[in-house]
Amino acid sequence: MTAKPKFTEQQKQIALIAKALSHPARVYILERLNGLNACCTSGEMIGDIPIARSTLSQHLKELKFAGLIQGDIEPPQIKYCINRKNWCIAKKLLEGFLNTNDSNPQVQCK
Amino acid sequence: MTAKPKFTEQQKQIALIAKALSHPARVYILERLNGLNACCTSGEMIGDIPIARSTLSQHLKELKFAGLIQGDIEPPQIKYCINRKNWCIAKKLLEGFLNTNDSNPQVQCK
DNA sequence: AAAACATTTCGTAGTTTTGCGAAATACAAA
DNA sequence: TTTGTATTTCGCAAAACTACGAAATGTTTT
């Protein structure tokens, strides 16, 4: 009677990162903060996105919790930026996953 | 009074793909089907993953719905494989998103 | 036709996500 | 200290997700 293996930490990590990206509003936020002008406030974003202020706030909170962004207080505003260190970690994990099939020469995406 | 922009199709696409990857079981399935031995059946997977048969079936269904895998009937079994075409599309979309910041030389991940 | 096998669908339950407006918080300016 | 601005937290409701076991489906073997 062999026990069922658990999920690996990596599988759980990848799933968590993917969950953070699994809503269009959060994709938008990350795209915007990754752009050239980089950081901005919730107030600057709200006009460009079809959701209420409080909802945007929740999405920012989630991304912050996931570690992908950080909020630097600049009274009377809060300036949000990508958390570069964690972003790079997440990016590497996800890219590694997307290239799971690298060793198989028959299935490269052209 | 300018209307709020909607989310772009691309943002919605990326979010959908990310959602498909947002559970460890689905990460596991995709890793496995992307491996060298490629395709396999639900029955072959069930021993290596800590969930019930019916739950695994649901996750397979979701991945099929997302277009990332396909199930080829080989009585009395169903052989699941990566849907290469859609996988490549998804991979490109996600990689494009992860490299949104490519034009900014200051923020490359090392 | 009956038994066995692989897998899915159904029914149900608990948890999480998403969304909004109203109220609360925090700070700056008047 | 009152007013105004920026943002979050709260309270709630609807929808979606995750999970399981039991029952159903479809196919082969006996």
Query: How far is Cα B79 from Cα B17, in angstroms, rounded to an integer?
Result: 22
User: Region B70-87: what's the mean pLDDT?
Assistant: 92
Least CA distance to A29: which residue of chain B? B11
**What pLDDT was estimated at residue A108?**
84
Q: Which amino acid is at A66?
A: A
User: How much is the pLDDT for B73?
Assistant: 87
Q: Which residue has the tokens 């198989």?
A: A104
pLDDT bin (cut points 50, 70, 90) of residue B102 is confident
Task: Count Cα neighbours of B86 within 13 Å in the Cβ-side half-sphere.
Answer: 17
Mean pLDDT across B18-43: 94
Q: How far is B75 from chain A (nearest CA, A)?
A: 26
pLDDT band at A4 (very low <50, low <70, confident <90, very high): confident
Lowest mean pLDDT among A59-68, A69-78, B37-46: A69-78
User: What's the pLDDT band for B9 if we cut at 50, 70, 90?
Assistant: very high
Record the pTM.
0.93
**Which pLDDT score, from 0 to 100, does residue B16 have?**
98
Task: Name the H helices within chain A.
Answer: 9-20, 24-34, 42-46, 53-65, 84-98
User: Looking at the complex, does the CB of residue A55 fall below 8 Å from at least one CB of chain B?
Assistant: no
Please report which confidence band the pLDDT of residue B50 belongs to, taking 50, 70 and 90 as the band edges.
very high
Q: How confident is the model at residue A1 (pLDDT cuts 50, 70, 90)?
A: low
The nt closest to B74 (CA vs C1′) is D27
pLDDT in tens, B20-32: 999 999 999 999 9
The residue among A21, A53, A99 with the most chain B CBs within 10 A of its CB, best to mutate, is: A21
Cβ A5 to strand C below 7 Å:
no
- The C-alpha atoms of residue A60 and residue A16 are separated, in whole angstroms, by 16
Å between A4 CA and C18 C1'? 34
C-alpha distances in angstroms, A62 versus A47, A57, A68, A95, B23?
20, 9, 9, 22, 17
Confirm whether any atom of chain D, the nucleic acid strand, is less than 7 Å from CB of A24.
Answer: no
* pLDDT surpasses 80 at B60: yes
Q: What tens digit of pLDDT does each residue of A77-108 get?
A: 899 999 999 999 999 999 999 998 777 777 78
Higher pLDDT, B101 or A37: B101
